Structure 1
Amino acid sequence: MLGACPGAPGEVKLIYYPLLNSDNKTETDWIAVDEKKNYTTQWQLENLRPNTKYVVEIEARLNNKSKVSDKTEGAFRTPPTEKTEEDIEFCIVTCHDYWRKDTTDGHKIYNSMIKMFPDFYVHTGDIEYYDKPEPYALTEELMRFKWDRLFALPLQRKFWTQVTSYFMKDDHDALKNDAWPGQTYGTVPWDRGIEIFEKEQFPYHNKFYKTIRWGKDLQIWITEGRNYRSSNNIPDGPEKTIYGKEQMDWLFKTLKESDATFKVIINANPVLGPDRENKNDNYSNSKYAFEGEQIRNFLNQFDNVYLCNGDRHWQYVTHLPDTNLWEFSCGAGADMHAGGWDQEDLRPEHRFLRVKGGFLRGEVSRENGKPKLTFQHYDVNGEMVHEEIFTK
């Protein structure tokens, strides 16, 4: 099948070291890839130095009697400590699909973003679409085929092997459109779809929501919008949830405890919107109005919290009048993937609206000692189309 890049049995070894101290190498033992998990394996690296760029080398061989047949090199950067005043750049993207890429080598936004070389990157989900044709991923084998095909694309590979990356899941790469726990797609039940994403294709964590401090001026929150949600089709009320009580309590607690100059919450789906009336799966929809209003009321007490989201196939900046609430939608990964909103439907809350593909860039910096947060929307060619600047 076109784009196929199947895995193979064998052994791999990891070597990593600080870029400026190549003599300080850590080398793992050879380990066999797991044939039951798409020929993958994972390492958890500990005791890393803050604010350090690490080089990573992965060697592969058929077995312990064979020579190394392949060697791949990449890099990542660790976050600075909470007391470090340092400029930080990041990019946020959403909604990719193999058949809606805009070059044969992948999505051209990756060529634009690698030139910026951000300190970190967040993919908000819908990294691939199980429920789109050629093929519909109705089996575990076809789900893995789609991941292998996507991760083999040269533009994506070049970027992901060089930039610290956080991957979130949404409905299309968990199972299917508007998916929630208990459902099945083809022959694959919900729990297996989640396991393939969380424990096989992407770095595994006990919980997929997390907060990371990137220096004195920036703390990010990466939320989980699928694992804990109620069924979309039950009546709205106090018991209906997306975040789940544990995640909601954690979010509120950690936001209050944070002394970061700017707090950025990254969601797979909108919290402010506006969104289409026929959608049912996010906090800007009436189907989750009760919990959505709780979240918006809580966030409004802060004057330094900003929301970013994926899922929507258009770019926007929303600022609710008479509140402190701002939301930045990054837009789909390609122009051919954009749509779902009328460009002429500019609402009072819109500060910016563009029904095209691209990505969102953020930066914290200091001018004469004064911290500043900048959000910029870019088109797929890397041209800036909108900018908002906040000072504290």
Structure 2
Amino acid sequence: MLFMKSPRRWRIHSSFPGVVRSLLLGLLIPFGALLIHAKPPYFGNGMRNGWADQDSVVIWTRTTRFEEMNQGGHAFLNVPASLEGVIRKEGPASRYVADQLPQGAMLDEMLGACPGFPGEVRLRCYPIDKPEEKIETPWRETHADTDYAVQFKLDGLKAGISYGVELEARPIGEQSHTSAFKGAFKTAHAPEHGGPLRFCVTTCHDFLRRDDGLEGHLIYQPMQLMHPDFVVHAGDIEYYDKPKPWAWTVELMRFKWARLFSMPRNRTFYSQHTTYFIKDDHDTLKNDCWPGQEYGAVTFEEGVHLFNQEQFPARDPRYHSIRWGQDVEIWLLEGRDYRSSNRMEDGPEKSILGSTQKAWLQSSLRASSATFKLVFTPTPVVGPDRPNKKDNHANEVFSHEGKELRTLFSSVDGTILFCGDRHWQYASEDPTTGLWEFGCGPGSARHQLGWKEGDQRPQHRFLRVAGGYLSGDAWRDELGQPRLVLRHRDVYGEPVSEFAFPR
């Protein structure tokens, strides 16, 4: 198995005129690489994109004080989860951060820190095979109140095209940029496009259980080599409610995001690939959360805003469908913003999706002409799941809406479900409706848990309690018939299952 090298850092002396530096950037620097000058701001978190369709995309980036994370910083103290309740009762709120740091240490001095820095950012975008068709945005300032992040909505793009992105940063009020970064993305294929399509699905990441040291996660090496047209991260991208540190404040939540996406493997991959990010409970607030709850000093509503508007490409609402060529359409579901309390009595009014999203889902599925209708959800609908879980459609506490959705999905030909959340890989076929669901499994070899290997239930058509990801390939065969093959893979990219559709 071949692996990518870590992204290289390129230095171009600041004495070069701006035009020359820009030319060198375009000709010499590879995608996903950092171009470093003598002073901040830098692009320590690279860039990521979201919501790509045939003619638009949202690009996210953040200006940082350093070009890389702090790899030699202090370790966080190993404090118990129960400390949250103690501080909530006794105060002061400053202890949520201070009690997790070694004496005298600052948050920016901790292992993995990638602090932000104010600056101005400009973006250039162009078809990779036609760099002369370059568009350029005005300079935009970054500030502390948005964690030094900035987003660019790009419209008027062309379908099925690979685009290059060049980012430049400079100190506020200065004329010369101090750093630059190159990334890439691909727009969705036009509905009439009949060519092959490849995608990947992953879930369950964090810094604590990474499996490639400070490089990040192993899966991004083989995924990079597969050249997927798009990737879906199906939630639990980070875990606020895991230690070192427990993210009991917005400041600590922001710290965790900056740390995760400053690891070279993760930063490089997401800077180069079209991605759709879905959130779940751990990257909204805490385990099994719902509106109205709090975690430390953070409300559920603050957690939603942090993910939806600040740390990831923004869109309202966050549920959406995108056509990817002649045979594939994807649906991205939002499972936290509109949900009822887990404690509410089950019945017609209890919902995870909310009435508006559910009505949209039903109408858009039935209206689709795609052969394969691929629905991505952060939590299971078919399962099976553990009996002690209480926050998804495979659980008894949401059984009414679960049955409603399984009936809907199974009534629309070509519908297949994909979910995150579960820390094991599986393929299941609902015995009542025949609906298929694929759990991609955790994106780390150190993150599998929650199910016993060999405990295969009647729904299971495949079960593996280990880390990895899922890949899908869609194409038309020599007779012009649409085909889809789904494969679970281990963290090194080796296939461990294969399922072909139509069945």
TM-score above 0.5, yes or no:
yes
Q: Say whether the 8 Å CA contact 1:341–1:355 is kept in structure 2.
A: yes
**1:76 match:** 185
Match for residue 46 of structure 1? 155
Decide whether aligned partners of structure 1 residues 176 and 322 sit closer, same or farther in structure 2, where only a CA change above 3 A counts: closer
2:168 to 38, 59, 76: 59
Cα distance in structure 1, aligned partners of 2:385 and 2:349: 23
Alignment RMSD (CA, Å): 0.9
Which structure 1 segments of 5+ residues have no match?
none
Q: CA deviation at 1:323?
A: 3.1
Matched, 1:379 2:379: no
How far apart, in 1, do the equivalents of 2:169 and 2:395 lie? 48
Match of 2:402 among 255, 269, 292: 292
* CA displacement at 1:119 relative to structure 2: 0.2
Map 1:7-22; keep pairs closer than 5 Å: 7-22=116-131
Query: 2: distance between equivalents of 1:391 and 1:272?
Result: 19
> Which residue matches 1:389?
500
The answer to whether the aligner puts 1:176 opposite 2:260 as a matched pair is no
Preserved contact between residue 236 and residue 279 of structure 2 (Cα < 8 Å): yes
SS at match of 2:266: helix
After TM superposition, give the deviation of residue 391 of structure 1 in Å.
3.0
| Structure 2 SS opposite 1:317 | strand
Render the CA deviation track for 1:335-366: whole Å, top value 9, x for unaligned.
21101011121112110000000000011111
CA contact 1:96–1:127 (8 Å) conserved in 2: yes
1:66: how far off? 4.5
Give 2:199's match in structure 1, choosing from 67, 75, 90: 90
| Separation in structure 1 between the aligned mates of residue 431 and residue 385 of structure 2, nearest angstrom | 17
Greater mean deviation of Cα atoms: 222-231 or 294-303? 294-303
Structure 1 contact 59–68 (Cα < 8 Å) conserved: yes
8 Å contact from structure 2 (residues 406, 433) kept in 1? no
Is contact 1:269–1:312 with CA below 8 Å preserved after alignment? Answer: yes
Kept in 2, the 8 Å contact 1:375–1:388? The answer is yes
Deviation at 1:300, TM superposition (A): 1.6
Instruction: State the alpha-carbon separation in 2 of the partners of residues 5 and 334 from structure 1.
Output: 22
Task: Give me the TM-score of the superposition, normalised by structure 1.
Answer: 0.99
Whether the 8 Å contact between 1:125 and 1:311 is mirrored in structure 2 is yes
The secondary structure found in structure 1 opposite 2:400 is helix
Kindly state the Cα deviation for residue 322 of structure 1 after the two structures are TM-superposed.
Answer: 5.7
| Counterpart code for 1:257 | A
Alignment partners' CA distance in 2, 1:184 and 1:370: 51
Distance 1:336 1:207 in 2: 34
Deviations 1:271-330 (A, max 9, x none): 000000000000000000001001111112123100000000000000123633000000
Residue 240 (str. 1) matches residue 350 (str. 2): yes
SS in 2 for 1:334: coil
Preserved CA contact (<8 Å) 1:270 1:282: yes
Aligned equivalent of 2:298, options 188, 209, 221:
188
Is this contact kept in 2: 1:229–1:243, CA < 8 A? yes
Alignment partners' CA distance in 2, 1:65 and 1:302: 57
Q: Percentage identity across aligned positions?
A: 49
Q: How does 1:241-256 map to 2 (within 5 A)?
A: 241-256=351-366
Residues 354-373 of structure 1 correspond to what in structure 2 (within 5 A)? 354-368=464-478, 369-373=480-484
Count of equivalent residues: 392
Indicate the SS of the match to 1:384: coil
Q: Distance in 1 between matches of 2:453 and 2:234?
A: 23
Runs of 4+ in 1 over 6 A off after TM superposition: none
1:139 to 231, 245, 249: 249
- Aligned partner of 1:388: which letter? F
Please give the alpha-carbon distance, in whole angstroms, between the structure 2 residues aligned to 1:266 and 1:154.
Answer: 27
One-letter code aligned to 2:397: K
Please give the per-residue CA displacement for 1:30-77, whole angstroms capped at 9, x wherever unaligned: 110132010011110001100111100100011232421111001000
Give a deviation string over 1:243-295, Cα, whole Å, max 9, x none. 00000000000000000011000000000000000000000000000010011
Q: Does the aligned pair in 1 maintain the 2:365–2:412 contact within 8 Å?
A: no
1:11 positional shift: 0.5
User: Which secondary structure does the structure 1 equivalent of 2:359 belong to?
Assistant: helix
Give the distance between the partners of 2:432 and 2:500, measured in 1 at CA.
18
Aligned residue number for residue 99 of structure 1: 208
1:307 to 411, 417, 422: 417
1:279 paired to 2:389: yes
Q: Quick check: which has more Rg, 1 or 2?
A: 2
Matched, 1:348 2:420: no
